[in-house]
Amino acid sequence: MAVNCKLLAETPMTEDLQGRQRKRKRQWLALALLAALLVALIVPPLVSVSRYKSRIAQLISASLGRPARLSSVELRLLPRPGFVLTDLTVDEDPAYGAEPLLHANSVTASIRLLSLWRGRLEIGSISVDEASFNLVRTEDGRWNLDSLFRTAAKAQPAEGDSKLPLPLPFLEATDSRINIKSGAEKLPFSLVETDASLRQQSPGEWRIQLRGQPARTDLSLEQADTGIVRLDATLHSAAQLRDLPLRLDLEWKDAPLGQLTRLILGSDSGWRGNLTGELHLEGTAESARIKTQLRATEVHRAEFAPAAPLDFDANCGFVYHFYSRAFENLLCDSPLGNGRIRFSADLPGEGAAPHISVELDRLPVQAALDALRTVRSGLGPGLEAKGAISGKIAYAESAPEKPAISARSGKTYPAKALAPAPGPLTGSFTVEGFQLSGEGLSEPIRVPKLVLEPMAALPDRQSNDLLSQTLAATAAFPAGGATPLAIHASLSLSGYLLTVRGQASIARARELARVAGLPDASALDAVAGDPIFVDLSAAGPWRPAEKAPFSGTSLAGAVVTPTATPAAPPAVAASGTPPVADNLTGTVTLRNANWKTDYLANHVEISQATLHIGDGETRWDPVVFSYGPVKGTASLTLPAHCDAPAPCLPRFEVAFGALDASALQSALLGAKERSTLLSTLIERLRPSSSISSAPAWPRLEGTVKAELLILGPVTLHEATATMRILENGAEIAALDAGLLGGRAHGTGTFHAAGINRDKPAYTLEAQFEKLSPRAVGQLLGLRWSDGSFDANGKVELSGFTDKDLAASAKGALHFEWRHGAAGGSVPAALARFDRWTADAEIANGALALQQDQVRRGAQNASVEATATFGAPPKVTFAAPKETQAKR
């Protein structure tokens, strides 16, 4: 009991003592922290570190192997001892350019505390924020990081060397920018918002980690749409960067294809979808084993979203020799649909012959169509394809044949040039059960079997490359004509060459034109008749220019299209140089066809028309047509390119033999009175009952010719008119014709009735030279003879009928008749005269003389006359007035 009481008495005293001891410890710890805080606050301002400025710059220079400069240095003790550097610039090796390697406005450099115990000042880490770093690659393939790691490697002590090394500090950058340069030229590619670090994990071993967003300095890109690039690499020391062992993992995640193509190519190629790429590298820069994985989901064109977008997951492995740019044992394998693609190659580089093979195993034709539709715009989204592609194509160049040497004479003979050498491409692809449907095809296009085989190499090719041979296939299918359409296709890595020959019904040709993506395919809706003859060739790259191809190649489309498409350069058919844009050449021939358009009252019958495409233009020539009883020939040219600032209008030429205006009138309007004036019929060219809703006329310019143009009692000989058709009228720039034994030259305009005009309006201005007075008199119902008749005048008219035109006519006429005579009921002064000149006014449905002078010898007289418009016109004369001529 006594022992227990003693223990109970000592226990409170022990706990009390321990509590007091813990309290003292906390107090001493607080005092130590307070002292440290006071030192951190008071000591730095009192300590001058300016004398360490050059020392710190030397340390950074020695650590990075580059000259370093800074503006000022401040000492910082918390949260750990270090320096705050201002305006740090690390110069570049002159071999890589004059621009600094690194620049940062503010840098934090921490001190290795253990180095202070050894009497040395060492930088443990360098942290920069919002810095700019230049990554440079020279023309000979060297990087500016080469000397950086070489300097760090030299800093390691040799075996048996007791001198302590100068370790590379831990480099860290946040929210910084990495610029990429090729020599002295700064490329537009860079990494922004980059977090990167470089640390030396052990002597001779470094680790690099990076996260950033790709960007272009010459484009406006949403940074969130370029994906995220992550890099994690481990490097070991080596004498040269090419021998430096490394292990690298690179990932580019969630990059939209549209922004990715803008980033890489500089423009949006119209692809949509998401792309993720991964790369694993292990080895050296001289020889590295690389594995890649490329995953793409929901790949499609921007114009449409297909029901089954193109997805693929490609895995590749190879050994890459960086400095020789050679690929060894390249093998890529990717499932696609229900099939598979396998690609293998050896690309030695440095001019050595490559070996390549592509193997397809039951690859769906639909997948190939989706891939083509992804890189090419214009193919209809409703197209569906069936069938499977299998086979293998290999590429391996054979050694050139050596010249033969004669055993007797020792002379060298060239190898046989007549026998074609086998091409480097071997093998074939076979398409089984091909069927193309949808997109308005009334009947699917079926080809049971199609074989793609290499074409023979061109005998005069200048180089042995992958493009000197193409894969070719020929297929034929019925298209509604007497002979089937034969299609021959030649495919190369850069582009295609396609030829189509044969017959097709107009309905089937319309469907095929829509499937091919021709922009004017709808114009064939206005054409009906016998099957057409097709002989066309199309060539172009797989990824053409943005300009829509094959614009303005149809009959009606050529008429209604106000501007033409710039010319495409000639394609190089299946040779080594790909064309830069699609190019369509050849002919299309129509026979016994009808063409109906909204701005003509009736259809045009075409007995024959040939469309020529190529040479920088699209031309219909000749077009043999008839419009009711009117028959003629025409040509229509659509220039593909012009240098004028204004749009180039399509040009036409129409030629007639003997053209009767009354027959033309009947053709345009049907059965009408033959006495109706031709000018009243122009507005009725439009079948619409509502003037304001009538379709606009096409914009054209050209010439109209007629051997004989019969205008009632007047016949024009060899008439030629240069015209411009406007949307709501026409302009006659020049009219030249033989008239009444002389010549007539004139200009005119026509404006159709519309919203702002209730009647059509006309202006005519003409000059008449050496007309026959006898013919002029017959036209007026008078007996005139002898002499020559010249005149000029201008008149404005409006209306639909002859009465409207006569009542609205306003203008003036001047004529001069020399050495003439008139018979019948005319004033005596006109019986015979030397010269008759007059100015007349056209108004109120008549032409009245205002001032005139009839001169015979020394006698002058004036005549008052009025010609009332009608059929025929009526001429009345007043009593003559004679005056004595002044001497």
How far apart are the C-alpha atoms of 619 and 641, rounded to whole Å? 13
The two tokens of residue 873 are 């016109």
Residue whose structure tokens are 């820069």: 285
Q: What is the band of 869 on the pLDDT scale with cuts at 50, 70, 90? A: confident
Q: What is the band of 734 on the pLDDT scale with cuts at 50, 70, 90? A: very high
Q: What DSSP line would sit under 535-550, residue for residue?
A: EEEEEEESS--SSPTT
Q: What is the band of 671 on the pLDDT scale with cuts at 50, 70, 90? A: very low
- Whether residue 459 is predicted with pLDDT greater than 70 in this model: the reply is no
Least confident residue range of 414-423, 597-606, 830-839: 414-423
Q: Both ends of the chain: CA-CA distance in Å?
A: 179
More confident residue, 212 or 416: 212
Q: pTM above the 0.75 mark? A: no
Least confident residue range of 44-48, 58-62, 317-321: 44-48
Least confident residue range of 378-387, 619-628, 819-828: 378-387
Residue whose structure tokens are 């977008």: 309
- On whether the CB atoms of residues 284 and 242 are closer than 8 A, the answer is yes
How far apart are the C-alpha atoms of 771 and 757, rounded to whole Å? 36
Select from 535, 542, 558, 567 the least CA-distant residue to 378.
542
More confident residue, 201 or 364: 364
163-172, 556-565, 716-725: range with highest mean pLDDT: 716-725
How far apart are the C-alpha atoms of 135 and 170, rounded to whole Å? 19
Least confident residue range of 232-241, 702-711, 788-797: 232-241
How many Cβ atoms are within 10 Å of 471's Cβ, its own excluded? 21
Host H or E run for residue 817: strand 810-823
Phi, psi of 556 (to 5 degrees): -70, -35
Residue whose structure tokens are 């159709």: 752
More confident residue, 172 or 112: 172
The rounded mean pLDDT for the chain is: 76
How far apart are the C-alpha atoms of 620 and 16, rounded to whole Å? 116
Least confident residue range of 28-32, 278-282, 775-779, 815-819: 28-32
Residues paired with 396 in a beta bridge = 355
pLDDT cut 70: percent of the chain above it: 70
- Whether residue 831 is predicted with pLDDT greater than 70 in this model: the reply is yes
List C-alpha distances in Å: 148 to 99, 115, 171, 758.
16, 23, 13, 86
How far apart are the C-alpha atoms of 333 and 269, rounded to whole Å? 26
Residue whose structure tokens are 């086998």: 422
pLDDT value of residue 352:
81
More confident residue, 591 or 285: 591
Contacts of 257 (CB under 8 A, 6+ apart): 271, 272, 273, 274, 275, 296, 299
pLDDT value of residue 78:
65
More confident residue, 859 or 14: 859
Phi, psi of 685 (to 5 degrees): -60, -25
Classified as helix, coil or strand, 24 is helix
pLDDT digits (tens, 9 = 90+) for 8-25: 445 555 666 666 666 676
Select from 262, 336, 250, 230 the least CA-distant residue to 293.
250
pLDDT value of residue 470:
81
List C-alpha distances in Å: 831 to 304, 817, 828, 857, 864.
85, 13, 5, 13, 15
Classified as helix, coil or strand, 433 is strand
- On whether the CB atoms of residues 333 and 341 are closer than 8 A, the answer is yes
- Whether residue 799 is predicted with pLDDT greater than 90 in this model: the reply is no
Buried b (16+ CB within 10 A) or exposed e, 608-618: ebbbbbbeebb
Least confident residue range of 362-376, 543-557, 590-604, 819-833: 543-557
Least confident residue range of 22-36, 508-522, 756-770: 22-36
pLDDT value of residue 676:
37
pLDDT value of residue 577:
38
Instruction: Looking at 166-253, list the stretches that DSSP marks H as alpha helix, in order from N- to C-terminal side.
Output: none
Average pLDDT over residues 632-641: 83
Select from 496, 495, 562, 502 the least CA-distant residue to 532.
502
How far apart are the C-alpha atoms of 443 and 198, rounded to whole Å? 65
Q: What is the band of 486 on the pLDDT scale with cuts at 50, 70, 90? A: very high
